[in-house]
């Protein structure tokens, strides 16, 4: 047998061994990925940026866990659970009352309030009258014939009904008769399922302004008008004034409605009764609420923590999470 033939056979054997090794490694990796514990989180669109960061940090510390984030308007998230019977471990809502009204007591027993926010009017340099708009004239500029603004669907997203509540409060604050009803009727073709769906319209110059949470504006480095506290649904001290605004949205069942009354913005979180992976869900909820974990990320992204906050379901909160709430 020639030296060339011997070398050829040796090289062929090495190639086959390496190929088998790589194949085995790939199979092992696939099995490892398949064996990861899946955690399903339904959440408000305005939580997308901080939850993505939390997911990355939590998975890095828990390599056996795969977190599946599913973003939608908070009302729509609740309906996926109540109407569509979709599997879900954790629900994080931009309005804690959605959990109280739509998920308790059938789908969960408790609710922890964990963050706040405020309404703003978001725009960019190309927006009409962007050099003129301010906290005192924004309601007049939005009503101009050549201005287009967007908002989210009040029946799907808290930001949508908060836009309507804000307009009602603005009508009183600025003594602008008829502003709220005019706002609802104007630019209806630019209503979207959730507030983050409007960002592409703004970036493409299809619209000039958006009713949007301050946190989302900051996360996307957008310009925004800071509204007076009497209008922005931010201040607990103005709770009684906020209550003068209200709007009806579709309820749990077809043909029913829920009346949303103005109140300071508060986010809520819960773990579902039939969570497919309750043990990991409790562990991730603990991380989301912890001072050095999720709360720190929320603060960085413009959503101040309010933990621990009063909870009307305190007694039902699991013992390991009670430290994040109070009676």
pLDDT for 300 equals 93
Topology adopted by domain 33-116+266-326: D-Maltodextrin-Binding Protein; domain 2 (3.40.190)
Query: Whole-angstrom Cα distance, residue 29 to residue 31?
Result: 5
Tokens of 23: 């194949």
Return the residue matching tokens 């957008």: 222
Q: What is the average pLDDT value for the chain, to the nearest integer?
A: 91
pLDDT for 253 equals 81
What mean pLDDT do residues 33-40 have?
A: 88
Residue 2 reports pLDDT greater than 80: no
123 neighbors 133 (Cβ within 8 angstroms): yes
Single pTM value for the model: 0.83
pLDDT for 5 equals 52
CA 183 to centroid of chain Cα atoms: 24
99 neighbors 111 (Cβ within 8 angstroms): yes
Residue 4 reports pLDDT greater than 80: no
Residue 259 reports pLDDT greater than 80: yes
- Give 278-305 pLDDT, tens digit per residue: 999 999 999 999 999 999 999 999 999 9
Domain residue extents for the chain: 33-116+266-326, 119-250
pLDDT for 11 equals 53
pLDDT for 196 equals 86
Topology adopted by domain 119-250: D-Maltodextrin-Binding Protein; domain 2 (3.40.190)
Return the residue matching tokens 């994040």: 324
Least confident of 6-20, 118-132, 229-243: 6-20
Query: Whole-angstrom Cα distance, residue 61 to residue 54?
Result: 11
Residue 57 contacts by C-beta under 8 Å, 6 or more apart in sequence?
287, 293, 297
What mean pLDDT do residues 243-268 have?
A: 93
- Which string of DSSP letters, residue by residue, matches 71-98? EE-HHHHHHHHHTS----SEEEESSHHH
pLDDT for 29 equals 47
pLDDT for 20 equals 46
pLDDT for 6 equals 52
Of all helices (H) and strands (E), which one includes residue 309? Answer: strand 309-310
pLDDT for 24 equals 47
- Give 73-90 pLDDT, tens digit per residue: 999 999 999 999 999 999
- Identical fold for domains 33-116+266-326 and 119-250, yes or no, is yes
- Give 186-211 pLDDT, tens digit per residue: 999 999 998 889 999 999 999 999 99
Residue 181 reports pLDDT greater than 60: yes
% of the chain surpassing 70 pLDDT: 91
């Amino acid at each position: 047998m020639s030296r060339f033939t011997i070398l050829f056979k040796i090289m062929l054997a090495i190639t086959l061994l390496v190929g088998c090794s790589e194949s085995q490694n790939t199979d092992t990796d696939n099995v490892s990925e398949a064996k990861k514990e899946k955690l399903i989180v339904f959440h408000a669109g305005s939580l997308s940026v901080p939850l993505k960061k939390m997911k990355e940090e939590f998975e890095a510390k828990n390599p056996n866990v795969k977190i599946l984030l599913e973003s939608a308007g908070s009302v729509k998230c609740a309906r996926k659970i109540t109407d569509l019977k979709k599997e879900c471990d954790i629900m994080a809502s931009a309005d804690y009352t959605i959990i109280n009204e739509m998920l308790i007591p059938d789908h969960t027993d408790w609710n922890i309030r964990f963050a706040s926010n405020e309404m703003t009017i978001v725009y960019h340099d190309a927006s009409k009258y962007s050099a003129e708009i301010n906290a005192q004239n924004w309601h007049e500029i939005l009503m101009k014939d050549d201005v287009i603004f967007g908002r989210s669907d009040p029946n799907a997203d808290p930001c949508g009904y908060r836009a309507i509540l804000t307009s009602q409060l603005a009508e009183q604050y600025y003594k602008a008769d008829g502003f709220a009803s005019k706002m609802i009727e104007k630019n209806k073709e630019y209503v979207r399922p959730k507030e983050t769906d409007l960002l592409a319209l703004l970036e493409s110059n299809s619209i000039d302004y958006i009713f949007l949470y301050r946190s989302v504006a900051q996360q996307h480095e957008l310009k925004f008008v800071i509204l007076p506290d009497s209008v922005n649904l931010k201040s607990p001290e103005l709770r009684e004034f906020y209550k003068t605004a209200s709007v009806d949205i579709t309820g749990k069942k077809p043909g029913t409605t829920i009346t949303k009354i103005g109140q300071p913005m508060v986010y809520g979180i819960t773990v579902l009764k039939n969570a497919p992976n309750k043990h990991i869900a409790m562990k991730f909820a603990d991380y989301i609420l912890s001072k050095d974990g999720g709360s720190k990320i929320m603060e960085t992204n413009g959503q101040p923590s309010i933990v621990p906050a009063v909870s009307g379901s305190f007694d039902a909160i699991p013992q390991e999470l009670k430290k994040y709430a109070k009676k």
